[in-house]
Amino acid sequence: MCAVIGIYSNKTVSLDLFKNLLNESMIRGKHATGISYIENNLLKNKIIPTFSKNFDLPNIKSNMIIGHCRYSTSDLEYNQPIIENEVAIVHNGVVDQSNPDNWENKYNYKFKTKNDTEILLKHWINNKHPLKLDSSISSIIIDNRNKPMIYFFRNEERPLYYYKDKDNIIIASTKDIFKKSLNLIPIKTKSCYEYKIDNFDLKIKKIRESKIDLQW
């Protein structure tokens, strides 16, 4: 059980708001905390093997940030976000528990880590679409290869919620995280929507109607 969060804004993301989300996500993972963000047109990241309340958030000026609170079931060698080719991913779930030494033959990619989240990352980089698997998936991606964009997707095995207003789309693993952390903006829990999908279809009408450019 881990937590993923993200904010996409028409203006600079409130660091107080993001820190609130990060701290309230700690209940789902205390072994490591990491973030990725766009600043000066570059994808940057910071990852520390500690719980979020000990995480020193940089003085970021960005309109999109994603974060991860990890609950480790193995080691702390491969924490998230995982980044490659100006793409970053945070993920909650299990993609493939088979021997990582066999992944290259199985998926036809060369892997740098033994974190199965990299399987999703490799597939996104090469196909720009979620990988359909009989596993548990809840993910947020920043893709900075062309126009900087943020994407999120899930299947029925892992939760994901979002909130939107005229300036922001905010993503978190659970409704309870919203309820406890979003006291900086006038939001009611009922304003948070469960992100429901059908066969990884990202074309959600409510999101595409937003003034924020989150087109698929």
Given this model, what pLDDT does residue 170 score? 87
Given this model, what pLDDT does residue 200 score? 36
81 prior amide bond cis, ω within 30 = yes
Question: 26-57 burial string, b = 16+ CB within 10 Å, else e?
Answer: bbbbbbbbbbbbbeeeebbebbeeebbeebeb
Domains of the chain, first to last: 3-208 (3.60.20.10)
- pLDDT, tens digit, 9 for 90 and up, residues 122-167: 999 998 877 777 778 888 999 999 888 888 888 777 888 888 777 8
Residues 83-91: what's their mean pLDDT? 93
Residues 38-54: what's their mean pLDDT? 79
- pLDDT, tens digit, 9 for 90 and up, residues 4-35: 889 988 889 988 888 888 888 776 665 678 88
Q: Find the helix or strand (DSSP H, E) in which 16 lies.
A: helix 15-25
Which is more confidently placed, 108 or 28? 108
Helix (H, G, I), strand (E, B) or coil at 55: coil
Structure tokens at 146: 């062309």
Given this model, what pLDDT does residue 198 score? 40
Structure tokens at 128: 């720009």
Q: What is the mean pLDDT of the chain?
A: 77
Residues 181-197: what's their mean pLDDT? 58
- When pLDDT is cut at 50, 70 and 90, the band that residue 213 belongs to is very low
Residue pair 169/208 in contact by the 8 Å Cβ criterion: no
Separation of alpha carbons 172 and 6, rounded Å: 7
Given this model, what pLDDT does residue 191 score? 55
pLDDT at 203 over 60: no
